[in-house]
Structure 1
Amino acid sequence: MSQCFTELASDAQRLNHNIRPIDDCACDEELLYGERVQVTEVPVLTCTGLWRIYQREAENIVAPDGVLIADPVERNQVINAAYARLWLQDSRFQWAGLAAFASKQVGCGLLHASNTVDFIGQQRDARAQLRGIRREAGLLTPGRLEEQAKALKDYKAANARNPVSALDLHLGGELTLVQQQFRHVHEMMALGNTTLFLDIFPLHVFYANRGLKEFSTCLKAREGIYGHPMFPVLWPVGQKQLKFGQYFEILLQAFQAIEEGDIARSVKHLAEHEQRHILQPTIYEDTRLIALLRSNHASFVTGFPSGVAQAIELTLANQCRSLDDGRTIGFDDNPFANLADIEQRMEFVLRAARRFDDLLSGIHRSALEESIRDIAAGTVAR
């Protein structure tokens, strides 16, 4: 297993103390209050400095060398792995273990949406190719029969892969109506996945490296690192939609619970923060996404239209498909259930958290550990 956190010089330095001996600091003459005086600038490790360090740790995962990983699926994989490594390093971070599976499930949804967009595009291209040949040469044209047969075969294969071939509309532009819908879901899922990681991963790094006392002392200082011209913060959702690094008492309560060994309570508090404070304003208040999620869920539950929708569920394994051994938790079998509703979603999340906790205490623990190790290594069966 690779190390979860980078070893940093600050790990051994004291908060609010100089990080370099005074004798090693530069001394310059400056004009101060009308007099020339000798001034020595002494760098001091502050709460703000620590938050910048740990925020950069998270950014380096999703944006190596300062460039955000462009492919949301690839970015999701490194997020999954980072959550998994958190739990493998310290099993008290049970929220992170659950998040590795939940984020993996987001990756399954990203792939489903991306594949659907591609399948629709492939069918359109194949149909255009077939029609083009027929317009140019007509049907059953001598010398073109083999070409026409291949075009027809390619179209039928593309049509079979496309789950919405009979239901889609093309109103002009690059994408069909369904492609636009799936693309929007894809973008919003990726936004929520990345924003949550950049919020919550640094909290774990700070606590793991500095302990509860300094975490408590410094938590309110975190939001102050946003907006510095020399130390920009990567925050994809934007400050207007969701203010970076806000102080919430429930965060302190979550890590206090970890310190006290009440792991279930810590998971509950972090889940509340995750859903209410981050994901709700980031993605679940988007009216277009709400409509698409509700139609997807109704489609899956009712079976109409067939083949279009993906189940809203969480599988506690390193794979996308459902399992029948108790490791798959479904959202709701009511076609009118609404994932965007915070109360319905919290019930689902907490039910998954309880199942995860129960399975860790039983015969499935070794299977869960193996799956988390696979996720940490980037191995997921799609």
Structure 2
Amino acid sequence: MKSSAKRSNPDMIRSKEAWKQLLEEKLPARERIVDRNRAITAHYAQLYLQCPELFKWSGMAAFASSQVGVALAFVELLETPSAMMKIRREDVPRQDMISLLGGMAGFIFRSLFSLPVSVFDSALRTLLLDDLNEIRTGNNSIYQDIAWAHAAYIEGGLSEIAANADEQEKELMLQGFSLIDRGAALLKAGDDAVLARSMIRDGNICLLRHEQLKTLYPVFNAISIPGRVVVSFGSELDFQGAAPPGVAERASFAEYSGYLETLTGARRVTDQDDRWNWIENNVLPVWNAIDSTYATSPHLERKLREMAGGNPSMLQQIARFASTMSFLPGLE
């Protein structure tokens, strides 16, 4: 458990800008969109695996970032059909390829025969692709805003974050790491493990609130009106492979909020209250149940090690995403 400074000289505080630059140098260039997302996902998974007792937010963030990557890869395939030709058949299990092609074909077929003429408007298509770019920007922004603090905490402890946190970060992010640090100290001392784990979980929820209220607020505000429906239907955390039998493995905004309400825009993930209601009452319970199995079941660790290794196989996830998007206009 890494709750204390690891430097030989703890007075040598590295600046936030230096931390961010250090992490940025480990990522692919921004124009390599899918590869960069995969690297971000891998780093989140590595953080959780490094300290699963403390870094609950980063574990959930790995799955959220992976889902963004699925959407990015799906649209890249639709935008560049030749990309499909780069997937060598011998490298892909037959069932995965059937699942991918079936999901994409079903999506396109249903789009052609069930959606209004306006969906084929090139202006709308451009608008929705711009919205997806906003989501990609949000994925990068979250990493920039919070990943540095995890790295700083591992190497320099809470004081490293406190020395660098600005006023906006003090409200939730510093508060979150303070709770995590206090919980870690209790665990290390062997005192009141129940209280310690509660503090750690509350601290990670503070990080999640910082992400949602501070980092993503301008991103979701920039989403177009039709894009809000698309993003709402595409918003889910897919924990497939990480959950033991009998434990829920999905948290879908549309399922939780209602398909009709989501389709009509009565409930939308871009609305801060609707989004947090879904997170608090659906996402967190599902994730907490899966996280609690880490020590007793191999599923979560195995899945996160795949992510941490930059596992490039997204075929089944893309097919599933295509099936989800079959409700919606604008991406066909």
**TM-score scaled by length of structure 1:** 0.60
1:109 Cα offset (Å): 1.6
1:56 Cα offset (Å): 1.4
Q: Hey, what does 2:20 align to over in structure 1?
A: 55
Residue of 249, 268, 278 corresponding to 1:327: 249
Residue of 339, 342, 347 corresponding to 2:269: 339
Q: Which amino acid aligns with 1:330?
A: S
Determine if contact 2:138/2:216 at 8 Å carries over to the other structure: yes
Question: Could you say which structure has the higher helix fraction?
Answer: 2
Cα distance in structure 1, aligned partners of 2:250 and 2:207: 21
Q: Hey, what does 1:113 align to over in structure 2?
A: 75
Does 2:204 correspond to 1:267?
A: yes
Q: State the Cα deviation string for residues 207-237 of structure 1 (Å, max 9, x = none).
A: 11111134323323xxxxxxxxxxxxxxxxx
Q: Hey, what does 1:149 align to over in structure 2?
A: none
- Please list every run of at least 4 consecutive aligned residues from structure 1 whose deviation after the TM superposition is greater than 4 angstroms: 158-161, 168-171
Q: Hey, what does 2:217 align to over in structure 1?
A: 280
**TM-score scaled by length of structure 2:** 0.68
Q: Hey, what does 2:135 align to over in structure 1?
A: 189
SS of the counterpart of 1:219? coil
Does 2:39 correspond to 1:75?
A: no
Residues 359 and 114 of structure 1: is their aligned pair in 2 closer, same or farther, counting only changes over 3 Å? same
Does 2:161 correspond to 1:215?
A: yes
Q: Hey, what does 1:248 align to over in structure 2?
A: 170
Determine if contact 1:212/1:259 at 8 Å carries over to the other structure: yes
Q: State the Cα deviation string for residues 123-165 of structure 1 (Å, max 9, x = none).
A: xxxxxxxxxxxxxxxxxxxxxxxxxxxxxxxxxxx99874544
Q: State the Cα deviation string for residues 46-75 of structure 1 (Å, max 9, x = none).
A: x4x432331112211335xxxx23121111
Q: Which amino acid aligns with 2:289?
A: D
Cα distance in structure 2, aligned partners of 1:325 and 1:313: 16
Cα distance in structure 1, aligned partners of 2:163 and 2:234: 43
Residues 366 and 292 of structure 1: is their aligned pair in 2 closer, same or farther, counting only changes over 3 Å? same
Length, aligned pairs only: 257
> After superposition, where does 1:95-174 map in structure 2 within 5 Å?
95-118=57-80, 162-163=108-109, 164-165=111-112, 167=117
Q: Hey, what does 1:204 align to over in structure 2?
A: 150
Instruction: Provide structure 1 residue ranges, at least 5 long, that are not aligned to the other structure.
Output: 1-9, 16-44, 123-157, 221-244, 298-309
Residues 111 and 372 of structure 1: is their aligned pair in 2 closer, same or farther, counting only changes over 3 Å? same
1:295 Cα offset (Å): 5.1
SS of the counterpart of 2:270? coil
Structure number with larger C-alpha Rg = 1
Determine if contact 1:185/1:292 at 8 Å carries over to the other structure: yes
Q: State the Cα deviation string for residues 82-136 of structure 1 (Å, max 9, x = none).
A: 00000111111110001000110111121233333346xx9xxxxxxxxxxxxxx
RMSD of the TM alignment (CA)? 3.1
Higher normalized contact order (CA 8 Å, seq sep 6+, divided by chain length): 2
SS of the counterpart of 1:247? helix
1:365 Cα offset (Å): 4.2
Determine if contact 1:105/1:315 at 8 Å carries over to the other structure: yes
Instruction: Provide structure 2 residue ranges, at least 5 long, that are not aligned to the other structure.
Output: 1-5, 85-103, 184-198, 316-332
